[in-house]
Amino acid sequence: MKEKSKKQKERGKLVSFFLEIWKERPHKCINCKKWLGNEPLSYMFDHLLEKSKYPELKYEELNICILCLECHDNKTRGFVSETIKKLIEIVKNQFNIL
């Protein structure tokens, strides 16, 4: 039997992390309040501070928000709402990031 690759293990860990967040939080977009249903999809989970720039915050629950596709897309393209800006500031303050 083949051993899972490091990449597959990491993906599995991230999926498990997201599923725990899904169980704990309301299934609605934190930004526009749209109901997201009962089944989590990968796009619904967003790192407020990007994991590429802040890998140490990859598995910090405070750094994850649940977004609908439209709000996630807007944030990714740089159109960050006031709600999300406030959440980013909370994360930065919590982890002493300037």
Predicted structure pTM score: 0.89
pLDDT, tens digit (0-9, with 9 covering 90-100), for 13-28: 999 999 999 999 999 9
Token pair 């959440």 is at which residue?
87
pLDDT surpasses 70 at 58? yes
With cut-offs at 50, 70 and 90, classify the pLDDT of residue 3: low
Tell me the domain boundaries of the chain: 6-94
In degrees and rounded to multiples of 5, residue 47 shows phi and psi of -80, 120
User: Are 91 and 57 contacting, i.e. CB atoms less than 8 angstroms apart?
Assistant: yes
